[in-house]
């Protein structure tokens, strides 16, 4: 059902945790299935994501997409990080089962929410 890469990110998730006094924080959830995600970021030079951490309450795909999106976003300029799509997240993991594609939406939304939060603080 899951690719090896999904299982790897699920069993060995990257960048788990919360950045203390983070520059931006995103909180998203899927009210239908009940998954919850929190992403915190630090931004260097008002430009690039210098640190990123996540916490997720959810299934294997929710954890794996959260983990992989932190890897993808680390070191990216904010606009490039915002441009990460659910499809890119799924592709990065070697694909997701169709019923799990919504998990990659949550990961993309969580990251976007964190960047928006950072920008809203001006």
| Active site members | 33, 103
Closest Cα to residue 37, out of 5, 70, 1, 85? Answer: 70
Size of the site for other proteins (CB under 8 A): 28
Q: Say how many C-beta atoms besides its own lie within 10 A of residue 87's C-beta.
A: 12
| Of the residues 3, 8, 14, 36, which one makes contact with other proteins according to CB under 8 A | 36
Distance CA 58, CA 48 (A): 28
| Of the residues 77, 80, 91, 99, which one makes contact with other proteins according to CB under 8 A | 99
| Of the residues 20, 32, 45, 120, which one makes contact with other proteins according to CB under 8 A | 32
Nearer to other proteins, 46 or 98 (CB): 98
| Of the residues 22, 23, 56, 108, which one makes contact with other proteins according to CB under 8 A | 56
Closest distance to other proteins from the beta carbon of 60 (Å): 5
Binding of residue 118 to other proteins (CB under 8 A): no
Distance CA 98, CA 100 (A): 5
Q: Say how many C-beta atoms besides its own lie within 10 A of residue 122's C-beta.
A: 4
Distance CA 74, CA 92 (A): 14
Binding of residue 71 to other proteins (CB under 8 A): no
Q: Output DSSP code: residue 3.
A: -
Binding site for other proteins (CB under 8 A): 2, 7, 10-11, 13, 16, 27, 29, 31-38, 55-63, 99-100, 102
């Amino acid at each position: 059902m899951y690719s090896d890469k999904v299982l790897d990110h699920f069993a060995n998730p990257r960048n788990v945790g919360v950045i203390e006094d983070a520059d931006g924080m995103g909180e998203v959830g899927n009210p239908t299935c009940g998954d919850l995600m929190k992403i915190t970021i630090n931004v260097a030079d008002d430009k690039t994501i210098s640190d990123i951490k996540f916490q997720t309450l959810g299934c294997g795909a929710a954890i794996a997409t959260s983990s992989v999106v932190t890897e993808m976003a680390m070191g990216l300029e904010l606009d490039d990080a915002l441009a990460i799509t659910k499809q890119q997240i799924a592709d990065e993991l070697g694909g997701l089962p169709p019923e799990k594609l919504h998990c990659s939406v949550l990961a993309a939304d969580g990251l976007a929410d964190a960047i928006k939060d950072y920008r809203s603080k001006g």
